């Protein structure tokens, strides 16, 4: 779960169950039930960072839809800010945090793996242009994909890898995710560190 270590899983399940019926979601009650209101500012910032997939400093409607599908029940409101945002980027700034990537190249790369089980990380990194970027730019890409700021890209984050490039992109299949992880996890710890990611991009 993307919020492991920040919010209690049982509290999340209970909160989601309480708003299953259409029209019953209340964000104040939901935040209280999952423990977000009583959490530390640091944990709230971590939760915000996970939800803010494009690192725009805002949680937009498309990002909320993604997390609804993951069982968090965050629906029926958009442009949410949990009391803080990044002032250097406006809400209208939809450009991905992958600095320097061409929108047309990203679209072509996503179109090339639109079908289930068609994702090939080497082809994708080359097609989107990331393979040709500098080490610093690759590190920025890593930081964006590392949604929980753990310093590693875990399997759940890899599953949603394509959605870092476009919020409407599909999730990777279990087969694609495991293949991707195996290719990048050179030390066998079950996750991908920044150096492993850099090697994967340049492979």
Residues 6+ apart with CB under 8 A from 92: none
Q: Which residues pair with 59 in a beta bridge?
A: 80
**Measured between alpha carbons, how far is 63 from 158 in angstroms, rounded to an integer?**
16
74 token code pair: 């965050």
Q: Would the annotation count 142 as a binding residue? A: no
Q: Would the annotation count 41 as a binding residue? A: no
Q: Would the annotation count 191 as a binding residue? A: yes
Q: Would the annotation count 60 as a binding residue? A: no
Q: Would the annotation count 133 as a binding residue? A: no
Q: Would the annotation count 185 as a binding residue? A: yes
Residues 6+ apart with CB under 8 A from 76: 25
Q: Would the annotation count 150 as a binding residue? A: yes
Q: Which residues pair with 80 in a beta bridge?
A: 59
Q: Would the annotation count 146 as a binding residue? A: yes
Binding site residue list for Ca(2+): 146, 148, 150, 152, 157, 185, 187, 189, 191, 196
Binding site residue list: 146, 148, 150, 152, 157, 185, 187, 189, 191, 196
């Amino acid at each position: 779960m993307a919020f492991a270590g920040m919010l209690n899983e049982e509290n999340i399940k209970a909160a989601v169950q309480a708003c299953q019926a259409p029209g019953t979601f209340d964000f104040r009650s939901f935040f209280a039930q999952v423990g977000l209101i009583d959490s530390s500012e640091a944990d709230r910032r971590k939760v915000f960072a996970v939800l803010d997939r494009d690192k725009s400093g805002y949680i937009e409607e498309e990002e909320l839809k993604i997390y609804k599908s993951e069982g968090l029940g965050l629906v029926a409101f958009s442009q949410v800010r949990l009391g803080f945002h990044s002032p250097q980027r406006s809400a209208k700034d939809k450009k991905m945090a992958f600095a320097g990537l061409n929108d047309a190249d990203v679209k072509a790369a996503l179109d090339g793996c639109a079908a289930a089980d068609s994702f090939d990380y080497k082809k994708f990194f080359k097609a989107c242009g990331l393979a040709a970027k500098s080490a610093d730019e690759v590190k920025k890409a890593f930081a964006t994909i590392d949604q929980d700021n753990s310093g590693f890209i875990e399997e759940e984050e890899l599953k949603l890898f394509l959605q870092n490039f476009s919020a409407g992109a599909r999730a990777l299949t279990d087969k694609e995710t495991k293949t991707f992880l195996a290719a990048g996890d050179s030390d066998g710890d079950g996750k991908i560190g920044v150096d492993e990611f850099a090697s994967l991009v340049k492979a």
